[in-house]
């Protein structure tokens, strides 16, 4: 899950939880607020009534005599005020809910009760407000609060989403840049324009790390350059010394043959070093892939170069390329080496009168080029190992250093070419190159 989605989800969830909490807590809260307001109002009304009684005299409300009382209701029975004489000694000062019967109808009221004394007479004042009215106002309040909350949650969720998007943009930039790196050497350190220090720090760290990787690669390159120089220089000296000895008229004939043997051995050493250097140079991306290569052209060139070897071995070399294919971003000389090696093997391990066929077809996902021979084949047990370095297979001449196929594989990997081999001992071998769609 992406960070942005997580952040948005988290903020939305936290808001929803908050919202649910509010929904649960709101009714009792509002209820309490409403009750408090009602009570305040009752108290204010009480003060007013008491002031009026004081100004106008109690007689205005309650006549002398027994059973006399004052009562006032409004039309819809939402409120009432009543005063009556009560027995002395009764002291009440409270607010509470109570049921009252008003004109044959039982109504639930919030009632303030208070006893007060005027001229040794105790009176009871009651001011009531119907609870239904209170409830209604609570409901209305609740509705508004709910609507408000929903709107707030939705709005802030969107705002959060937009904000995290803006906030995380530098991270997205960093990720995109990392995705674009094909090889460490192509990485260009750039400054990140962001006020978020964490991202700047992350970017700097990556720059730093890639710098180290690049330095390591450069070292490797230099090392390979130095090694090739160090190894090939003595080989060079030996080779030239032997050539001079061979050309020297004073060299006796029986030594000439020895010298030729030496020359062969030295050649073997040289080609092993060069093969290893080639492999490591390819793996270090010291070759460019900046050419367009047409398969038909390439196959034509390889066949042209190797045709007389096939003739010398009495092997027929056939081409069957029904479609053409252009490789972009390739290295022609490496591809030539790759194909040459495979075709060369197909000729070398063939039998007189045998055949080597190169077939090229458009396949499902790209293009497939196969080299099929009618040679000795490779045992199933050996197939998995034919690309490993220094694995010696049945070289008829015993001169093979077993680096031909590893070179083929390295070049194929370098071009993202899928390489596969099938073989039937005694029948022949097929090497297939699957060129990817670009």
Partner 1 sequence: MHVLIVEDEASLAKELVHFLSQEHYKCDWAATGRDASEKIAVNLYDFILLDLGLPDYNGLTLLQEARQLDHEPAILILTARGSLEERIEGLDLGADDYLPKPFSLLELQARMQAVLRRKFKIKSSVLAFHGLELDHSTRRVTHQATEISLTKKEFDLLHYLLLHKNRILTRLQLTEHIWGNLLEDDYDSNYIDVHIKNLRKKLAAYITDEWLETVRGVGYRLTT
Give residues in contact with partner 1 (CB under 8 A).
Answer: 225, 228-229, 232-233, 235-237, 239-241, 243-244, 246-247, 253, 256-257, 259-260, 263-264, 267-268, 270-271, 274-275, 278, 286-288, 308-309, 311-312, 337, 340-341, 344-345, 348, 395, 397, 399-405, 407
Cβ 264 to partner 1 shortest distance, Å: 6
Cβ 373 to partner 1 shortest distance, Å: 15
Closest to 357 in 3D by CA, of 335, 376, 372: 372
Query: In terms of CB distance, is 115 or 262 closer to partner 1?
Result: 262
Which 8-state DSSP code applies to residue 391?
Answer: -
Quote the CA–CA distance of 188 and 280 in Å, as a whole number. 24
Quote the CA–CA distance of 340 and 280 in Å, as a whole number. 20
* Residue 398 CB neighbours (<10 A): 7
Contact between 370 and 431 (Cβ < 8 Å) = yes
Quote the CA–CA distance of 256 and 95 in Å, as a whole number. 130
Give the DSSP per-residue string, 136-148.
HHHHHHHHHHHHH
Query: Any idea which residue has 């190159």 for tokens?
Result: 433
Cβ 353 to partner 1 shortest distance, Å: 16
Q: Give me 426's structure tokens.
A: 């005694």
Cβ 199 to partner 1 shortest distance, Å: 37
Query: In terms of CB distance, is 26 or 245 closer to partner 1?
Result: 245
Quote the CA–CA distance of 119 and 126 in Å, as a whole number. 19
Helix, strand, coil shares of the chain, percent, nearest 5, are 55, 20, 25
Cβ 188 to partner 1 shortest distance, Å: 19
Cβ 415 to partner 1 shortest distance, Å: 17
Residues 6+ apart with CB under 8 A from 124: 83, 84, 85, 86, 90, 92, 113, 114, 115
Q: What angle do CA 242, 246, 251 make, to 5 degrees?
A: 110
Query: In terms of CB distance, is 171 or 282 closer to partner 1?
Result: 282
Cβ 283 to partner 1 shortest distance, Å: 15
Task: Evaluate the CA torsion angle 307, 311, 315, 317 in order and state its sign.
Answer: positive
Contact between 327 and 289 (Cβ < 8 Å) = no
Query: In terms of CB distance, is 121 or 233 closer to partner 1?
Result: 233
Quote the CA–CA distance of 327 and 306 in Å, as a whole number. 22
Cβ 306 to partner 1 shortest distance, Å: 10
Query: In terms of CB distance, is 275 or 299 closer to partner 1?
Result: 275
Query: In terms of CB distance, is 82 or 331 closer to partner 1?
Result: 331
Query: In terms of CB distance, is 127 or 407 closer to partner 1?
Result: 407
Cβ 412 to partner 1 shortest distance, Å: 15
Query: In terms of CB distance, is 70 or 387 closer to partner 1?
Result: 387
Cβ 164 to partner 1 shortest distance, Å: 47
Pairing relation of β-strands 316-321 and 355-363? parallel
Residue 15, SS3 per DSSP? helix
Residues 6+ apart with CB under 8 A from 12: 153, 157, 160
Contact between 68 and 59 (Cβ < 8 Å) = no
Query: In terms of CB distance, is 45 or 344 closer to partner 1?
Result: 344
Query: In terms of CB distance, is 314 or 318 closer to partner 1?
Result: 314
């Amino acid at each position: 899950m992406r960070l942005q989605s997580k952040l948005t989800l988290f903020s939305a969830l936290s808001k929803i939880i908050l919202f649910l909490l509010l929904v649960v807590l709101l009714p009792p809260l509002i209820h309490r607020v409403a009750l408090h307001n009602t009570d305040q109002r009752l108290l204010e009304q009480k003060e007013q009534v008491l002031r009026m009684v004081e100004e106008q005299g109690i007689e205005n409300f309650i006549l002398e005599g027994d059973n006399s009382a004052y009562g006032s209701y409004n039309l819809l029975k939402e409120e009432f005020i009543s005063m009556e004489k009560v027995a002395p000694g009764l002291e009440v000062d409270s607010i509470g809910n109570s049921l009252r019967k008003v004109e044959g109808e039982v109504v639930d009221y919030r009632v303030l009760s208070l006893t007060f004394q005027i001229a040794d007479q105790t009176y009871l004042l009651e001011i009531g407000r119907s609870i239904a009215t209170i409830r209604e106002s609570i409901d209305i309040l609740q509705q508004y609060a709910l609507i408000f909350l929903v709107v707030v949650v939705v709005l802030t969720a969107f705002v959060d989403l937009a904000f995290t998007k803006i906030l995380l943009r530098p991270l997205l930039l960093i990720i995109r840049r990392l995705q674009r790196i094909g090889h460490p050497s192509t990485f260009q350190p750039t400054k990140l324009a962001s006020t978020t220090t964490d991202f700047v720090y992350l970017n700097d760290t990556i720059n730093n790390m890639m710098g180290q990787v690049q330095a390591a690669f450069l070292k490797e390159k230099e090392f390979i350059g130095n090694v090739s120089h160090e190894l090939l220089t003595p080989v060079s000296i030996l080779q030239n010394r032997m050539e001079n000895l061979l050309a020297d008229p004073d060299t006796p004939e029986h030594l000439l043959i020895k010298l030729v043997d030496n020359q062969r051995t030295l050649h073997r050493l040289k080609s092993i070093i060069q093969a290893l250097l080639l492999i490591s140079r390819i793996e270090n991306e010291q070759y460019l892939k900046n050419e367009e290569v047409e398969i038909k052209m390439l196959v034509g060139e390889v066949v042209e170069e190797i045709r007389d070897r096939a003739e010398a071995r009495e092997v027929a070399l056939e081409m069957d390329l029904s479609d053409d294919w252009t490789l972009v971003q390739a290295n022609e000389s490496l591809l030539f080496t790759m194909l040459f090696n495979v075709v060369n093997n197909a000729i070398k391990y063939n039998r007189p009168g045998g055949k080597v066929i190169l077939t090229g077809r458009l396949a499902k996902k790209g293009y497939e080029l196969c080299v099929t021979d009618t040679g000795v084949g490779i045992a199933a047990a050996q197939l998995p190992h034919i690309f490993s370095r220094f694995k010696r297979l049945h070289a008829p001449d015993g001169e093979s250093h077993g680096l031909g196929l590893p070179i083929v594989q390295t070049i194929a990997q370098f071009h993202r070419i899928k390489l596969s081999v099938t073989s039937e001992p005694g029948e022949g071998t097929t090497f297939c190159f699957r060129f990817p769609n670009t």
